[in-house]
Structure 1
Amino acid sequence: MKETTWKAGWIWGGNDESPRNEWRCFRSSFDVTRETAADAVLRISADSRYVAYVNGVRIGRGPVRSWPEEQFFDTYSIGHLLRSEGKNTIAVLVLHFGVTNFYYLRGRGGLLAEISSGGNVLAATDPSWKTAKLKGQDSSSPRMSCQQGFAEIIDARELEEDWIEPGYNDSLWEQAAAVAEVGEGPWTSLIPRDIPFLTEEKLYPSRIESLQKVKPPVYTAAIDLRNAMVPASKEHANPIQYMGYIATTLSLAEAGKVTVGIMQSRGEKLWINGQRIEKSYGIDPERYYEAELEAGDHFLLLDITQGDHGGAYHLAIHSELKFSLQSPDSAGETPWLLVGPFDDAEYIDTRENKQIDRNEPHYIQAAGAASLEELASVQSWIRPLAAAYYTDQDVFGSNVWRPVAERYALPPSLNACLTATEQYGVIPQFRDGDTELVIDLGKQRTGFFGFKIEAPAGTVVDVYGLEYMKNDFRQHTFGLDNTFRYICREGRQQYESPVRRGFRYAVVTIRGTAGPVKLHEVYMVQSTYPVVEAGTFQSSDPLLNDIWAISQHTTRNCMEDTFVDCPSYEQTYWVGDSRNEALVNYYVFGELDIVKRCLRLVPGSKDRSPLYMDQVPSGWTSVIPNWTFFWVLATMEYVEHTGDKAFAAEMWPHVRFTLEHYLTHVNADGLLEMRGWNLLDWAPIDQPNEGIVTHQNLFLVKTLRQAALMAESAGQASEGKPLKERASRLAQAINVHLWDQERDAYLDCIHADGRRSDIYSMQTQVVALLSGVAEGDRQDKLESYLIEPPASFVQIGSPFMSFFYYEALEAMGRVPRMLDDIRRNYGLMVDNDATTCWEMYPNFKENRANADLLTRSHCHAWSAGPAYFLGRTVLGVKRIGDGWNKVLIEPDPCDLTWARGAVPLPNGGTIEVDWSIGDEGMAIRVSAPEDIELEVKWPEALTGKVSIVRTKKLPL
């Protein structure tokens, strides 16, 4: 239900309606009586994110991610925080991104807040509110990634922490400006929050992993080349390419060696004084260039022509000699000049074939210039790099490249900071270096990192979050600046970052201190969707128990205000991923509102693409057809899971809309043929961006059939009948055109030029079985491949694809084969100390760049399938009626001797199963609500005893 009655209006401050990375404070004071305080509520929303305080007490963060046309707002009961004597104060910190990313579309800065009680408005945003930019926050801090907002640099010497308190003097603050009434501006409608507030659970680390003396490079920098070179790119999150250079003057006091390091290399070319410098060492994406230089000034020209989706460009310069950098024209805010772009191109997605013109004559003329004068022919393309896009406080670069790193024994007293006590650990100091602590949180976590510290003013605390370490190997988060810098004021202080991050290891480096530093506390405020761990699983195999546990923990870590792919690199709601994540959630947590919210967000992309986008709400207008198909499947699975036919009726028009648009891409042979990101798996299968992709056609068959069933549930059977007929015709076309008689398999694709693929993959055969397209002898042949995959076929490359493989194996009754695969692939994760499931398997060069890189993301919810399948197959709990009104208990013990666990039900309660095998056969105990019809089916060749316990409903 949409909210329409507001007396508040949207407000903002400062001179820029959408400033880049600005943290802005707002305050207002009001009076209440004892009567009006009791029922007071706050309604609030902001662009982009807020942290709200009442009388100095933090009450919440928000809002949930929204399409700007459907802005969500939050409601809090705040009466318990108000006082009838004296002024009450509401204070709000608004974090405005000022750039579009994968979970936010750039609008404008804004705050909307209203406190009311019994119909009386006590406070409402209007020009009487006071506002100021948060002192000490550096807006030039690096972009975290193309998917996210910004890392942070905070100088606590400038912070005024009491600005949230009632007694703070805000007389020097400016008056807020009214920017829009409700229903105006980017936020054309307001919708009440549709899920509970996320958790805020303070957790402490398990141990300090190591202590090192370190030194960073002499000079580091992080540059937003994307927005600097192509300023309009801040309005969208589509990939771009641009052609150009950056240049600086390096001045050396004496002759010697200088090294230039690039921490996110994209194939740069470096010239110093017109001489091309070849890479000296480094494994991509790290590249290091060494040069012996004379004393004096040297002109550095770096070709940064590249594709750029966003994020920071990290570079560093190091020498044992004294040097400085300055802009070659001596006039810029930063040491660098931009040269270009000579050509640039925007992509709606990365599958497009647009190319920049590398033969552009001015670009060629500028290459290898030895001085600013030699760039005279391209003078009109030269401009200073603005300070907004540049910082020389690069925490990420200082962690990736450490010219000095020496390990020392860890003093036991340091562990005192790992608990909530008054004890503290004194940080060891080095006369000629910084002190680095690696702190293990014990598990992958997601939320807000904080610490309490006592230090001299100016002490720098750098924090860098890592997901994986082993011995001396650190898996740096290339593509993600998972860092922040805090510069201490004098004395004891606490800082808790308001920026969400995910990691297991916190690399905390103390730099530049002038005296003793005491670390009192380190913690993570874990913030996830509030769940009850209603689902359980245990068995006679400890490995399977561990695998179930990491699958459950992965799912929880990836439940925020939507399902997200991972809590570190992206925090993005990928539509296709969430289909499998929802099924896992049904078996481990049983949450429904988050699933409905995710499903409802997808049609909001229809004005950007009628084929619906693959991640929402997002500024990247990208389509993966399979992800849209998985959304349809997930919608129907939700209807079947809950029995909610009203939801089917709500969603059916959106399903029909996008499928009708997909069917316009069917060619004369009856096959889906289109340009798109035709993805299914991270493996070298043949899935070109144009042409006829077999797995895509197969999933469309399954989707059309499920859509027809949804139409029936929605009371629109006649509208679904044509889709069912189209599914049959498409299945026939697939069998005619995409089956290879000689190979006895479905080929991967037919390319846009008509060439038939010579690649055959397990992925395609799995989907042919799941879709029901393979029948008769073909079905038998493909089922044999699932048991003994042909060596010449491309093998499965991700746990995401394994989910579909396990679905096919379960349908075949091949549960032992499924358990073998789970033990092998997920056992590798457990053997490598995983506490969550990996994004990829390390079985293809596409998946790992070197022997230590086991996967990209070490916490990825599309990989948590074992928690679903162990509950369905080993425990044997399966829904056979809509809304779980009828349930089949069909355990498959395989090689296990016992298993027990619980599966949550959509209407509350659980089904509990406890089975064991002994000398007298199998004993099965089932506990289930009295209104559920149960059917128990014995495993093959086993009999025994069944006991059923019925739980009663509470009286209404």
Structure 2
Amino acid sequence: MKPTFPFACLGLLLCWSASSPEIRAAASPSTVIAAAGAAEPKTAIRNTRPIAAFPAVRTAAPDSGLLTATWETRWARDGESSPYDFGVYHFRRSFDLAARPETFVINITADNRYRLFVNGTPACWGSARGDLRSWYYETVDIAPLLHAGRNTLAVQVWNGGELKPQAQVSFMSGLLVQGNTEAESAVNTPGEWKVFRNEAIAPTPVSYVGFFEQIDGSRYPWGWEQPGYDDSSWHAVRAEGEGIPFGHSIYGGYQRALVPRQIPLMEETPLRIPQIRRSEGLARVSDFISGCDPLQIPARTTCSILLDQTFLTNAYPELILSGGKGATVRLAYGEALFDSHKQKGNRNEIDGRTIELTHYDIVRPDGAEGRLYRPVWFRTYRYIQLDITTTGDPLTIEDLYGRFTGYPFTERGSFSCDDPGLAKIWEVGWRTARLCAMETYFDCPYYEQLQYVGDTRIQALISLYVSGDDRLMRQAIRAFDLSRSPEGITASRYPNLQMQYIPPFSLYWINMVHDYWMHRDDEAFVRQFLPGIRSVLEWYVGQIDPATGMLRSRMPHWSFVDWVRAWWVPERPGCPPEGEKAGSSIITLNLSSAMRDGAELLARFGDRAGAARYDSIGRQLAATTYEQCWDEQRGMLHDYIGSPTFSQHANIMGILTDAIPAEQQQEVFNRIDSDTTISQATFYYRFYLTRALKKTGLADRYSSMLQPWYDMIDMGLSTFAENPEPTRSDCHAWSSSPNYDFLATILGVEPDAPGFASVRIEPHPGHLNRISGVVPHPQGDIRVELRRTQPGNRNSGGRNSTVSGHGGLRGEVTLPGTLTGRFVWNGREIALSPGLNNINI
């Protein structure tokens, strides 16, 4: 039996032979509950049928002529419907080839999104999200999927219309295909392309992420992507506007300015669901999620089945059904289950807990055999609940599985030590970072899927240290630069349909450009952002109150800093305290930090006058803040001039900017670390808490300050949450900062010069007696293996342990290529040379 396909209508061939069932290499022993009401799952080794992998499609470079002149093609669309409303469209183009070509390169894009099939096989999907000034197109070589004779390109295009995601910028529905050379011109749009609007898919609105789907199988054009499909009733496409690369419009202007895709194609990896946790309404539930034992649901039955992926994931669910005409199948997706008080609690527990019905798809089968249903966009879930009602026709669930998707990061970096708890934090943190990275970084995959500056700065550093891949970071820096308002500041999140401004995030964008400059030798890329850096800093100069010498109170927009509970005011959530005429010391010091990073960049690129000006302003802001906000009795900075409140945040920034004199910084850090009466940094701002920890020479404490991450793991979280409980999002990569700090703080690997031209390695093992790791570098991998010569005395052992004294270190440091550096330990330095360096200090 071979399934046929709606949603994305994948023309894959699934392996239906049961003669040699396999256990997937990546799978661990799985857990199945066949009966409702079982308290704990029973462990069983399951045979699982393999899921077909999609063939890899080669990416290519666009022909140089397509970068400098208007394309021969025009955008194609359905002329029978509004191009601005919700719509799912199928486009087809059949053509003949005398022989299979060695290469056949096409450039393809669509508005909003598309998925390309070549002779029924999935080839690629896009377009990578940008905006109308940077509308990305993919360039792919589809020759491996072609053959001599008749060939068919089929493209599903969808437009969310008024329901499109917040992150999805759009002009109007359309498809654009341009052959790379004359040899591929037969597939250019509009040409002989045909189009059909699919009325079988109706949207269900979901805030931020756009829509989920209701699919009527009886109205679906099954097999539309296959070469033999009869499209004689389809109509010719309507030509709309020219394809124009950015920088080359003259008279008419741009609909969308075309730019080559800057990032790789996304990953799609088969992913089986290992556990059935409970069921209701059925006497027996077979192990259908293995693909080997279809589930029979009798006619006139109402039932519910709860599936557990056992960890949070982003995946395209693929549901294969037979029969069941007139049935309704709802797939509800949840990060967690909720108790009767709407609390999540331990994420592993299911008793007395239900799934929240906010994110769900509905499938209404047409009764045929082997229909495969897949949504047009991925879903985020740990739990999937199937709620099924059949009428007069029994329904068979042949299979249900996922295809994990995300930015194709490779885990080149690594960290290990003699405390196994840190390995679990690394695993969960990297999963969190991966789920928050697609064509842009995400704040969270389940709720918003928006790229925020504050999140992205931390996410980008994690990417550099664990994968070494800087392409998504470059995309983000460029996107935020494009988002700048006429005032001069960046948007808080971009791409984005609705402009939102968080001025402190503009400062983190400057810090982020500086981060990139320190880690990558790419000055041409960095130089282009100097005008944006100046515009952000000048906006802030205009916000300085001459009466106080600090930022003024009630600056425009949303001055978010952190999700501190005490700062939760409905009109200004997350904004630090300020007075009627006294602005925030925290944001003033954030500005001081950005002024100095900006000044360093301007000086490097020849603007010495601008650099001197911003450096001077930044230092003056720090000095004035200390002068006016320092409380001698409490020994820390107020949140604003004369405020009754104090926070870790103000003093973190006071340390990082040297507003607090160097000789006081360690004492101040100790004070804010122990005083629980002041506002505490949440998971997000603990990234900056760690920066202050390192600056004060106390970084050996870091490995014993990870209790909040252990707490999340103990609560069954498989990714790190946005906030301490109760939290909205279970997956927020700003909480994955340990994946950076295990390497940059514990292992101590950091750039010692711009462009990572040299390295400084200053380890801070804390309670650990053995540490090792790998840090990707542009020239290769930096490898560090160290052990204490005199094991430290742990005061308690386990999570909260500390170690007394530094002792000595032995081990090896290997530097790639021509990289040099220095090793720092307990006040001593060793010069590091390329290759193997023996450490005995």
User: What's the CA shift string for 1:736-769, capped at 9, x where partnerless?
Assistant: 333344543322236xxxxx53221112221221
Partner of 1:562: 440
Check 1:107–1:515 CA distance in 2 against 1; reply closer, same or farther (3 A cut). Answer: same
Alpha-carbon distance in structure 2 between the residues aligned to 1:514 and 1:698: 69
Following superposition of structure 1 onto structure 2, how do residues 396-475 of structure 1 map, counting pairs within 5 Å? 411=285, 414-415=286-287, 417-419=288-290, 421=291, 423-427=292-296, 434-469=302-337, 470-472=349-351, 474=353
Partner of 1:765: 651
Check 1:513–1:875 CA distance in 2 against 1; reply closer, same or farther (3 A cut). Answer: farther
Partner of 2:835: 950
Q: Say whether 1:482 aligns with 2:365.
A: no
Q: Say whether 1:68 aligns with 2:136.
A: no
Offset at residue 530 of structure 1 (A): 1.1
Partner of 1:828: 711
Partner of 1:701: 592
Partner of 1:41: 105
Following superposition of structure 1 onto structure 2, how do residues 36-185 of structure 1 map, counting pairs within 5 Å? 37-86=101-150, 88-99=151-162, 101-117=165-181, 121-126=185-190, 128-138=192-202, 141-145=203-207, 147-183=208-244
Partner of 1:811: 695
Helix, strand or coil: the match of 1:111? Answer: strand
Gaps of 5+ in 2: 1-63, 245-251, 338-348, 568-574, 792-806
User: What's the CA shift string for 1:29-48, capped at 9, x where partnerless?
Assistant: 2223327x332112111111
Helix, strand or coil: the match of 1:729? Answer: helix
Following superposition of structure 1 onto structure 2, how do residues 288-687 of structure 1 map, counting pairs within 5 Å? 411=285, 414-415=286-287, 417-419=288-290, 421=291, 423-427=292-296, 434-469=302-337, 470-472=349-351, 474=353, 481-490=358-367, 491-607=369-485, 610-669=488-547, 670-673=549-552, 674-683=555-564, 684-685=566-567, 687=576
Q: Which amino acid aligns with 2:556?
A: R
Alpha-carbon distance in structure 2 between the residues aligned to 1:778 and 1:410: 68
Match of 2:813 among 920, 926, 930: 926
Offset at residue 485 of structure 1 (A): 0.8
Gaps of 5+ in 1: 214-407, 751-755, 843-847, 849-854
Check 1:611–1:934 CA distance in 2 against 1; reply closer, same or farther (3 A cut). Answer: closer
Q: Which amino acid aligns with 2:469?
A: E
Helix, strand or coil: the match of 2:406? Answer: coil
Check 1:776–1:57 CA distance in 2 against 1; reply closer, same or farther (3 A cut). Answer: closer
Aligned residues: 724
Identity %: 26
Q: Which amino acid aligns with 2:444?
A: C
Q: Say whether 1:876 aligns with 2:767.
A: no
Partner of 2:78: 13
Question: Residue 678 of structure 1 contacts residue 693 of structure 1 at CA under 8 Å; is this kept in 2?
Answer: no
Following superposition of structure 1 onto structure 2, how do residues 884-923 of structure 1 map, counting pairs within 5 Å? 884-915=756-787, 917=789, 922-923=809-810
Helix, strand or coil: the match of 1:799? Answer: coil
User: What's the CA shift string for 1:662-688, capped at 9, x where partnerless?
Assistant: 222222233222122111111123626
Check 1:735–1:430 CA distance in 2 against 1; reply closer, same or farther (3 A cut). Answer: farther
Q: Say whether 1:738 aligns with 2:629.
A: yes
Partner of 2:262: 194
User: What's the CA shift string for 1:521-567, capped at 9, x where partnerless?
Assistant: 22221111112211111211111110111111111111111111111
Offset at residue 827 of structure 1 (A): 0.5
Check 1:626–1:90 CA distance in 2 against 1; reply closer, same or farther (3 A cut). Answer: same
Alpha-carbon distance in structure 1 between the residues aligned to 2:701 and 2:354: 33
Alpha-carbon distance in structure 1 between the residues aligned to 2:127 and 2:836: 39
Offset at residue 936 of structure 1 (A): 2.5
User: What's the CA shift string for 1:848-882, capped at 9, x where partnerless?
Assistant: 2xxxxxx2111111110111111123223232122
Q: Which amino acid aligns with 2:660?
A: A
Match of 2:735 among 863, 867, 871: 863
Offset at residue 175 of structure 1 (A): 2.1
Offset at residue 190 of structure 1 (A): 0.5
Alpha-carbon distance in structure 1 between the residues aligned to 2:463 and 2:485: 30
Q: Which amino acid aligns with 1:582?
A: A
When the two chains are superposed, the root-mean-square deviation of aligned CA atoms in Å is: 2.7
Partner of 2:32: none
Q: Which amino acid aligns with 2:562?
A: D
Alpha-carbon distance in structure 2 between the residues aligned to 1:475 and 1:781: 48
Offset at residue 781 of structure 1 (A): 4.6
Offset at residue 661 of structure 1 (A): 2.1
Offset at residue 817 of structure 1 (A): 3.1
Alpha-carbon distance in structure 2 between the residues aligned to 1:521 and 1:917: 56
Offset at residue 125 of structure 1 (A): 1.2
Normalising by structure 2, we get a TM-score of 0.81
Offset at residue 434 of structure 1 (A): 2.2
Offset at residue 600 of structure 1 (A): 0.4
Alpha-carbon distance in structure 2 between the residues aligned to 1:724 and 1:648: 19
Q: Which amino acid aligns with 1:885?
A: A
Q: Which amino acid aligns with 1:929?
A: P
Q: Which amino acid aligns with 1:151?
A: F
Offset at residue 410 of structure 1 (A): 6.4
Helix, strand or coil: the match of 1:152? Answer: strand
Alpha-carbon distance in structure 2 between the residues aligned to 1:787 and 1:727: 26
Alpha-carbon distance in structure 2 between the residues aligned to 1:136 and 1:812: 62
Alpha-carbon distance in structure 2 between the residues aligned to 1:947 and 1:774: 33
Check 1:715–1:948 CA distance in 2 against 1; reply closer, same or farther (3 A cut). Answer: closer
Question: Residue 107 of structure 1 contacts residue 186 of structure 1 at CA under 8 Å; is this kept in 2?
Answer: no
Q: Which amino acid aligns with 2:688?
A: F
Helix, strand or coil: the match of 2:623? Answer: helix
User: What's the CA shift string for 1:260-298, capped at 9, x where partnerless?
Assistant: xxxxxxxxxxxxxxxxxxxxxxxxxxxxxxxxxxxxxxx
Offset at residue 483 of structure 1 (A): 1.3
Alpha-carbon distance in structure 2 between the residues aligned to 1:738 and 1:429: 72
Normalising by structure 1, we get a TM-score of 0.72
Q: Which amino acid aligns with 1:635?
A: V
Following superposition of structure 1 onto structure 2, how do residues 255-266 of structure 1 map, counting pairs within 5 Å? none
Question: Residue 698 of structure 1 contacts residue 731 of structure 1 at CA under 8 Å; is this kept in 2?
Answer: yes
Question: Residue 649 of structure 1 contacts residue 713 of structure 1 at CA under 8 Å; is this kept in 2?
Answer: no
Alpha-carbon distance in structure 2 between the residues aligned to 1:410 and 1:641: 57
Helix, strand or coil: the match of 1:909? Answer: strand
